[in-house]
Amino acid sequence: MTSSKPAAHLAFLCPMPMELRPVVKKLSLQKTTVGDVTVWRGTLDGRDVVAIQTGMGTPLARAAIERLLDEMDVERVVVVGITGAVENVTPIGTIVIPEIVVNSNTSVEYRHDPLGDHEPRGVMWTTDELITDLERIAGLRERGVISLDMETAAIAEVCEREGIPWSVFRVISDRATDGSVDEEVFRMSNQDGSPNPRAVARYFLTHPGRIPQMMRLARGAKLATERAADVAIDAARQVPA
């Protein structure tokens, strides 16, 4: 029986507003609602696409894709956003297309369906906590982990349960070992990824000397989000019709 739900050839899933914005801009997507879900819709090479913001962390990411799939028929999911390196060598702006994504809560491993000409490499570790302890990070490196994120494994879980192919394109925006991101910095964002003005003001009042460091972090994040969108969109053009 044919579904009566609207369909999208591709769904771009972006955790935070700053990760969603370049996708929306580059594809000229228009904000609308489908059922109870806020989406940005448009086309890519004549095929219908949709983008949504999931929020930060596995519970919000899982709930967001489940709501989307309740309202729309989606042929493929593409996760787009930033990720943190687990050492101080990888340059900001480096593309991360992992071979394996691990849910740290369950230890379940997921393998995505890579798009484009990129060779998958390494392990992406999905966690709901900020990891800055150097011994823990060293242990992750020994397991082949190259970057940390907070959503991909949860999205992969739903996609594989529903039989939907998925891919992930993340770009390094910061490093877990260089002290640029700590609990205070992490709390400067709300759970939906939007800035927390009170936390931001409190941070800069308490640490005025860290303003240059935060400006560098912001520039790195902007570079990473732009590149992630470019790479994901370019790869998505190669998806068979």
**CATH placement of domain 8-176+220-236:** 3.40.50.1580
CA angle 66/239/38 to nearest 5° reads 30
Q: 76 in helix, strand or coil?
A: coil
Report the predicted TM-score, pTM, of the whole model to 2 decimal places. Answer: 0.91
- Could you tell me the two tokens for 93? 């702006």
pLDDT tens digit at each of 241 positions of the chain: 456 788 888 999 999 999 999 999 999 999 999 999 999 999 999 999 999 999 999 999 999 999 999 999 999 999 999 999 998 888 999 999 999 999 999 999 999 988 888 889 999 999 998 888 889 999 999 999 999 999 999 999 999 999 999 999 999 998 877 766 667 777 777 777 777 778 778 877 888 887 788 788 888 889 999 999 999 999 999 877 6
**Does residue 94 sit in helix, strand or coil?**
coil
Cβ-contact 126, 168 below 8 angstroms:
no
Q: Which residues pair with 50 in a beta bridge?
A: 11, 41
Structure tokens at 99: 């071979």
E-assigned strand segments in 5-150: 7-8, 10-14, 30-34, 37-44, 47-53, 73-74, 77-85, 95-96, 100-103, 109-110, 123-126, 145-149
Half-sphere exposure of 221 (CA within 13 A, CB side): 15
Give the whole-angstrom CA distance, residue 233 versus residue 43: 11
